[in-house]
Structure 1
């Protein structure tokens, strides 16, 4: 081997040594401070979902369903959006203040749930009126006071009717409609949806391993069963809220 080749190898070795001295400590430091992760360089990553409880994600076409974006006015005249609930476990319902049938029972059950989790800053309720032309913020405020709504994260919301009905029927598949021949003039689901801290719809499973999806909101714990003889699910709802709060 001639001297020219020897000088070449010596030069290459010197460059490698300098690179190691200057750059390797910086790379190690970045890894230590979590600046470099396994996801580095991937811009198409979907939001990771994980669970620490046994509650299932409600999936549509294989994807976990999240709360759709919304923006409505609450009982205090404040605009509330889905972003206000990020980091909170909450229950969703659709109702109207002049409902003569199931709404009073649902509201009483939700107040009982509220009281169970009194003091939990990361628990809330989102109630959407399906009669927004009547249920102004002032009307909703009076309704909240009547039933004992005290949780600052319980928003009773009103807004543009088409947007509310779209949220109910398409966003959550919780039926809501105007119905002239029905007492009160409206029909709606008596079920509650349970949402986790990241905005995903969650539920427990039935005896066959299938998600129940929603929780029946009409029968109280003390009643044990609803009008059709089906077991109440408020106790299950409360147990599952606790699980999500601990996730």
Structure 2
């Protein structure tokens, strides 16, 4: 099970709904490894007619479309991640606190799944004024990242903040009093091929990322079966 080394408000700070916090907490629950990972976030009951009968299904929260720019200068949208399991996170290149730890840990994920075309990584900068395309490319190069399996993206600041808090259920916001002028979650978010969140992990610890990698393998096995 993922190790919870931070309080829940570290991951879901400023989320108005207690339901969301409760659902995020599921990602730290224990259970048999052969069970499917839970789907996190809000869900809505939708009733429709099927063969003349009323059927109610659950529609789960999913990552909406977005439009950012990668370290290669091209446009990245939700369609770029179609048919991919991916890990999302939020950072900035000049971050003096948790970002270096996060990138060391995410590099472990990158190295483990480099031969798995179904797996991608998506890192969003929360400091687009500084983190230009060229800055992100240099940052990726210094990490030893090549190809398009790990994309570093920039874009409109408010859209980045909005998708972090409204869609990925984590914190990203300006804070002049914080080191570097911004605060963000240290979480890694696991997203499946249907754009559903399947787990949230402490990206600053080896134990949290060990569990993330195990759960990526579980998702890969789920799709194979």
Q: How does the TM-score come out when normalised to structure 1?
A: 0.68
> How far apart in 1 are the matches of 2:41 and 2:174?
29
Moved over 3 A (4+): none
Given that 1:132 and 1:159 are in contact with CA atoms closer than 8 Å, whether structure 2 keeps it comes out as yes
Q: Which runs of 5+ in 1 are unaligned?
A: 1-51, 204-213, 221-231
Q: Which has the larger radius of gyration?
A: 1
> How far apart in 1 are the matches of 2:125 and 2:182?
11
> How far apart in 2 are the matches of 1:110 and 1:178?
23
Query: Which residue number corresponds to residue 184 of structure 2?
Result: 188
Shift of the 194–151 alpha-carbon distance from structure 1 to 2, 3 Å rule, reads: farther
Given that 1:114 and 1:151 are in contact with CA atoms closer than 8 Å, whether structure 2 keeps it comes out as no
Query: Which residue number corresponds to residue 234 of structure 1?
Result: 209
Aligned with 1:197 (options 193, 197, 207) = 193
> How far apart in 1 are the matches of 2:186 and 2:179?
15
Work out which structure has the larger RCO, using CA pairs closer than 8 Å and 6 or more positions apart in sequence: 2
Query: Which residue number corresponds to residue 218 of structure 2?
Result: 243
Q: Does 1:219 align with 2:205?
A: yes
Aligned with 1:158 (options 137, 154, 158) = 154
> How far apart in 2 are the matches of 1:186 and 1:85?
27
Query: Which residue number corresponds to residue 83 of structure 2?
Result: 87
More strand by share: 2
SS of residue in 1 equivalent to 2:180: coil
Q: How does the TM-score come out when normalised to structure 2?
A: 0.74
SS of residue in 1 equivalent to 2:170: coil
Aligned residue pairs total: 175
RMSD of Structure 2 on Structure 1 (CA): 1.4
> How far apart in 2 are the matches of 1:148 and 1:122?
20
Instruction: Spell out, residue by residue over 1:69-90, the C-alpha distance to the aligned partner (whole angstroms, 9 max, x if none).
Output: 1110000001000111111111
Which residues of 2 match residues 74-153 of structure 1 at below 5 A? 74-150=70-146, 152-153=148-149
Structure 1 residue 192 displacement after superposition:
0.9
Shift of the 61–152 alpha-carbon distance from structure 1 to 2, 3 Å rule, reads: closer
Given that 2:114 and 2:149 are in contact with CA atoms closer than 8 Å, whether structure 1 keeps it comes out as no
Instruction: Spell out, residue by residue over 1:82-141, the C-alpha distance to the aligned partner (whole angstroms, 9 max, x if none).
Output: 111111111000110000110011011111111011211111001111000110010000
